[in-house]
Amino acid sequence: MLHHLRAALVLPLLGAFALTACATEVDPADANGDTGETSSAISTSSCKLSRSTILASATGGRRTAIERGFGWLDAQVPYSQSAYKAGYRTDCSGFVSMCWQLGTSYTTADFSTGGGKSGPIGSYGKLLPGDALVHRSNGSGHIVLFLGWNDGAHSAACVLEQASTATDMQFRARSASSLTAGGYKAIRADKLDASGSAATAGDDPNDGNAPAGDDPAPAPGGGGGSTGGGQACTSTGQCNPGNNGAGLICIGGTCKPGCLSDAQCPGSTSCIGGQCR
The span from the CA of 139 to the CA of 223, in Å, is 47
The span from the CA of 50 to the CA of 246, in Å, is 25
3-state secondary structure of 89: strand
What crossing angle do the helices spanning 60-75 and 92-99 adopt, rounded to 10°?
140
216: pLDDT strictly greater than 60 = no
Q: What is the b/e burial string over 243-274, where b = at least 16 CB atoms within 10 angstroms of the residue's CB?
A: bebbbbbbbeebbbbbbbbbbbbbeebebbeb
Mean pLDDT of 41-45: 72
Total structural domains in the chain? 2
List the one residue out of 192, 205, 269 whose CA is nearest residue 233. 205
Residue 28 belongs to a domain: no
What residues contact 189, with CB distance under 8 A and at least 6 apart? 61, 65, 100, 102, 117, 118, 130, 131, 132
Residue 34 belongs to a domain: no
Check whether residue 86 and residue 222 sit in a common domain.
no
200: pLDDT strictly greater than 70 = no
What residues contact 269, with CB distance under 8 A and at least 6 apart? 224, 225, 247, 276, 277
Check whether residue 149 and residue 260 sit in a common domain.
no
Residue 23 belongs to a domain: no
Residue 140 belongs to a domain: yes
Check whether residue 64 and residue 142 sit in a common domain.
yes
Lowest mean pLDDT among 4-8, 39-43, 46-50, 119-123: 4-8
Check whether residue 134 and residue 217 sit in a common domain.
no
* pLDDT for the residue numbered 94: 97
The model's pTM is 0.64
3-state secondary structure of 161: strand
Mean pLDDT of 15-37: 41
3-state secondary structure of 249: strand
* pLDDT for the residue numbered 206: 41
Check whether residue 175 and residue 247 sit in a common domain.
no
Check whether residue 109 and residue 158 sit in a common domain.
yes
pLDDT confidence bin for 243, thresholds 50/70/90: low
List the one residue out of 108, 140, 149, 184 whose CA is nearest residue 264. 149
Q: Is 79 exposed, middle or buried (0-12, 13-18, 19+ CB in 10 A)?
A: buried
Domain coverage including residue 236: 211-277
Check whether residue 180 and residue 57 sit in a common domain.
yes
The domain boundary residue, chosen from 189, 219, 237: 189
Check whether residue 185 and residue 49 sit in a common domain.
yes
Check whether residue 171 and residue 222 sit in a common domain.
no
Residue 33 belongs to a domain: no
Check whether residue 116 and residue 65 sit in a common domain.
yes
Check whether residue 179 and residue 225 sit in a common domain.
no
List the one residue out of 143, 145, 200, 154 whose CA is nearest residue 176. 154
Residue 154 belongs to a domain: yes
Per DSSP, 200 falls in state B
49: pLDDT strictly greater than 50 = yes
Check whether residue 75 and residue 159 sit in a common domain.
yes
* pLDDT for the residue numbered 48: 95
List the one residue out of 41, 70, 63, 48 whose CA is nearest residue 203. 48
37: pLDDT strictly greater than 90 = no
The domain boundary residue, chosen from 155, 189, 223: 189
User: For residue 272, what is the enclosing H or E element?
Assistant: strand 271-272
CATH number assigned to the domain comprising residue 54:
3.90.1720.10
Residue 160 belongs to a domain: yes
The span from the CA of 134 to the CA of 254, in Å, is 35
Residue type, 26: V
User: What radius of gyration, in Å, describes the C-alpha atoms of the chain?
Assistant: 24
Residue 151 belongs to a domain: yes
